[in-house]
Structure 1
Amino acid sequence: MGMLSDPEKKFSLLKKDFAELNAKAIDELNVDAVIHFAAFVSIDESMVKPEKYFENNERKTFEFVHNLFSSSSQPFLIYASSPEVYGNPVRTPMDELHPMRPRSIYAVTKLAAEKHCMSLFEWYSYPVNVIRNFNTFGPNQNVSAYSAVIPAFIERALSNEPLRITGSGEQTRDFQYVKDAVRAYESLVLTRGKLKGETFNIGSGKQIKIKGLAEKIIGLTGSSSRVEFAEGRKGDLAALQADYSKIKDKLGWQPKFSLEEGLKKTIEWYKTFRK
């Protein structure tokens, strides 16, 4: 945490459950902006543990944003959402006005949380923005049973184990390197709420097939892994591609890293630091 009014001041790390931050605790932190990333993010897990996702992603967010509103400081809020709220595309690239047809419990909780945040803007003009992060990847990303596809592929490729794809591999995603995403949040937080009420997509603006991603990671790692296919999931999205023209027009943001550049940096990190 840190102060926008004193950007040279070093940030402090506070480990605390965001649900414990009542209005008094928020005022005591003395912050003027909050970026809300606290969420469970596995689509698969959300379908087998729906209560966990509802409780954390939606209910706790509802309580948290109302605590922000009840605080004296009323810090500017940026909520980190997901393109999963759009569901299967009716057009690509997908802009912020694309129809909302979420297909998983995870996606439903993210859309509901967006609405809880934005309701405070609609009724009270509270300073809120939403960023819909298309698939973000980079160093230190979690590798687990419910991990995202890039860290899972890299981990298996570095071990020369099969890369497993659910479905045909023809489905596409839009992957952005984490440093590009960070720049977007930095740009928005420094507006100090002047663009309140706006929602923005961030992503690379490009699609890649999942089987193409697997082949690229095998090539970049020099792995002897092969690609295996498993039965597809009923609710899996056919495609994702960001239209980020709105944030480019408003803030001048656009991605700087290509997919290959980001993958190379991420692979080097895993080679150095993975167990």
Structure 2
Amino acid sequence: MHVMVTGAAGLYGVHLVDLLVSCPEVTKVTGIDNFSRQFLTRNPFLPNPALKTKFLMLRLDYRSLTPEMIDAAGVDAIVHLAAYVSIDESMEDPEKYFQNNERGSFELARTLLATKSKPLLVVASSPEVYGNPLYTPMDEDHPMYPRSFYAVSKLAAEKHCRVLYEWYKYPVVVVRNFNTFGENQNVWGYSAVIPAFIECTLRGETLVVHEDGKQTRDFLYVGDAVKAYLAILLRGKELSGSVFNIGTGKETPIAELAEIIWSLAGGAGGLTGDASGASGAGGASGLTGAKPDIIFKPGRPGDLQALSADISRAKATLGWSPEYDLVRGLQKTIDWYRRVWS
């Protein structure tokens, strides 16, 4: 199986590439990325000897792909990860999100429809498409009320691709990734909450929490997340038309997350600190008992109050469930940031 991955140098991309090249059923992986983001390491990809024999990296915008390129390469499946992912940035520059996330996905859908090979398309979406929950955990049939231009762009991208299935029975699978974190996540500019908290803690800086910190998210370690994608790829076109949530089904308040990261990273100035003994617990009280330096700021108008995934469909259909708890995933992530910054 030849798999093409858009956004191959991003958080999901590098971990998915690593998993794919290690899979016997995968004979070749082609990465597509324009390298528009900054990276903490010179080479963002995880060390793996199989990269030399099974991986081809193409530095280009996924919107420049043509039907002829895809057919000539003999691509069996495309995992579409490429996207801008900041809610705040989307409100400041919605055109950027429209052009890349929505219009780009529309153009990719048209390109694939014109191919002869009709490779499986696996589309990465977001729980932000649901908006504030009417109930938790949220299943795939939860009503959709996006509250940011980012969320709108992801919902539109998802719908553009699903039209291929609805009208032409083109093989499409949608995956709604809940709040994923891990090694290689961006810390610059509009970074997500976990890398932002890790950076502040390791540098001994104050952590910023919006509102009272009681809003919750469902945090999923990226090493678990990419295994769901592999399970979909191995099942192939028989899953056409399916939508899957992937998450943990567990809600963590943001203020509690700040305490956990502060404790795992060794507290203030933890860049050279010792995080020993900080594993296996479910919260800060079971770690070091340290209290982070937090300032609470007003919330943002579009912030969601809760996110939690119902993953029963992924469990039943894919045989997938997460293996990492929050603390174990955070420790791996913090250790990685500590290494690259030291």
Distance 1:201 1:235 in 2: 22
Distance 2:27 2:149 in 1: 40
Aligned length: 275
3-state SS of 2:55 partner: coil
- In the alignment, what sits opposite 2:218? 174
- In the alignment, what sits opposite 2:230? 186
Alignment deviations for residues 174-202 of structure 1 (CA, whole Å, 9 cap, x no partner): 00000100100000011111110010000
Distance 1:56 1:50 in 2: 10
Aligned AA for 2:247?
Answer: G
3-state SS of 2:95 partner: helix
Aligned AA for 2:192?
Answer: A
- In the alignment, what sits opposite 1:7? 26
Distance 1:50 1:154 in 2: 28
State the Cα distance separating 1:60 from its structure 2 match: 1.1
Contact 2:2 2:27 in 1 (8 A): no
Percent sequence identity is: 56
Question: Whose RCO is larger (CA < 8 A, sep 6+)?
Answer: 1
State the Cα distance separating 1:204 from its structure 2 match: 1.0
Matched, 1:232 2:251: no
Distance 1:148 1:29 in 2: 35
3-state SS of 2:235 partner: coil
Q: TM-score, normalised by structure 2?
A: 0.78
State the Cα distance separating 1:8 from its structure 2 match: 4.5
- In the alignment, what sits opposite 2:179? 135
- In the alignment, what sits opposite 2:47? none
Contact 1:2 1:12 in 2 (8 A): no
Contact 2:217 2:253 in 1 (8 A): yes
- In the alignment, what sits opposite 2:72? 28
- In the alignment, what sits opposite 2:341? 274
State the Cα distance separating 1:14 from its structure 2 match: 1.9
Aligned AA for 1:172?
Answer: T
State the Cα distance separating 1:5 from its structure 2 match: 9.7
Contact 1:173 1:241 in 2 (8 A): yes
Distance 2:258 2:24 in 1: 44
Aligned AA for 1:7?
Answer: V
State the Cα distance separating 1:6 from its structure 2 match: 5.3
3-state SS of 2:124 partner: strand
Alignment deviations for residues 41-77 of structure 1 (CA, whole Å, 9 cap, x no partner): 0000000100000011001110111101101111100
- In the alignment, what sits opposite 1:97? 141
- In the alignment, what sits opposite 1:262? 329
Pairwise mapping of residues 129-168 of structure 1 onto structure 2 (< 5 A)? 129-168=173-212
Structure 1: state its 5+ residue gaps.
none
Distance 1:131 1:160 in 2: 36
Distance 2:216 2:335 in 1: 25
Pairwise mapping of residues 212-227 of structure 1 onto structure 2 (< 5 A)? 212-224=256-268, 225-227=292-294
Contact 1:2 1:11 in 2 (8 A): no
> Structure 1 residues 15, 74: closer, same or farther in 2, change over 3 A?
same
3-state SS of 1:14 partner: strand
Contact 1:42 1:146 in 2 (8 A): yes
> Structure 1 residues 2, 13: closer, same or farther in 2, change over 3 A?
farther
Distance 2:206 2:55 in 1: 41
Q: TM-score, normalised by structure 1?
A: 0.97
Runs of 4+ in 1 over 6 A off after TM superposition: none
